[in-house]
């Protein structure tokens, strides 16, 4: 769903959450629908979302080595983002969240999305090129001590 630039409900955000690995595809779809509805009820708009697949993590989280990764591109007022992050923290199926405030979204896909052709990062692409996205500001990481979260002023 595309919107005119002046018609957006708030700043642009990118959000990734990791769900438990024992969930089925329909349960992941239900989570995406639930969080999209929460955001839209709070005045936000989901620009795009991608399912990145079941990936192995660098360390265990809640005794799990793998997790389902889901990526959202959204526009929302800050209050709506706080509500969505709060609901994700309370949900038992969500193990971690990461929210990043960006300048604007593009039509391009992230390259991480799970597909039958094995699309994703190529081995030839240097990892340092991923770290130089312009206009990216870290907003907060869920499931941690709220006093230690990094928020924008």
Residues paired with 19 in a beta bridge: 68, 94
Higher per-residue pLDDT: 6 or 144: 6
1 found inside a domain: no
> What's the rounded Cα separation, in Å, for the pair 81 and 75?
9
123 found inside a domain: no
Tens-place pLDDT, residues 100-119:
988 876 665 666 666 433 33
18 found inside a domain: yes
User: How many structural domains compose the chain?
Assistant: 1
150 found inside a domain: no
Which CA distances in Å does 71 have to 4, 7, 34, 68, 87? 22, 23, 14, 10, 16
Q: How much is the pTM?
A: 0.67
Tens-place pLDDT, residues 17-76:
999 999 998 999 999 999 999 999 988 888 888 998 999 999 999 999 999 999 998 999
Quote the tokens at residue 5: 């630039």
Quote the tokens at residue 79: 């209050």
25 found inside a domain: yes
Expressed as residue numbers, the domain containing 81 is 10-107+134-143
> What's the rounded Cα separation, in Å, for the pair 115 and 15?
20
Quote the tokens at residue 149: 């979260």
Quote the tokens at residue 125: 């692409």
Q: Supply the mean pLDDT for the chain.
A: 75
Residue 77: per-residue pLDDT:
92
Domain of residue 73, CATH code:
3.30.70.60
151 found inside a domain: no
């Amino acid at each position: 769903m595309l919107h005119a630039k002046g018609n957006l409900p708030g700043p642009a955000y990118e959000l990734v959450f990791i769900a438990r690995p024992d969930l089925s595809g329909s349960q992941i779809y239900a989570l995406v629908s639930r969080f999209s509805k929460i955001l839209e009820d709070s005045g936000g708009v989901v620009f795009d979302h991608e399912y990145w697949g079941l990936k192995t993590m660098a360390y265990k989280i809640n005794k799990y080595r793998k997790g389902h990764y889901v990526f959202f591109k959204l526009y929302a007022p800050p209050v709506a983002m706080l509500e969505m992050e709060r609901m994700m923290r309370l949900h038992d199926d969500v193990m971690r969240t990461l929210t990043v405030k960006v300048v604007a979204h593009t039509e391009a896909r992230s390259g991480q999305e799970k597909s039958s052709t094995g699309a994703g990062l190529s081995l030839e692409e240097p990892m340092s090129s991923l770290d130089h996205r312009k206009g990216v500001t870290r907003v907060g990481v869920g499931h941690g001590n709220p006093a230690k979260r990094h928020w924008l002023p």
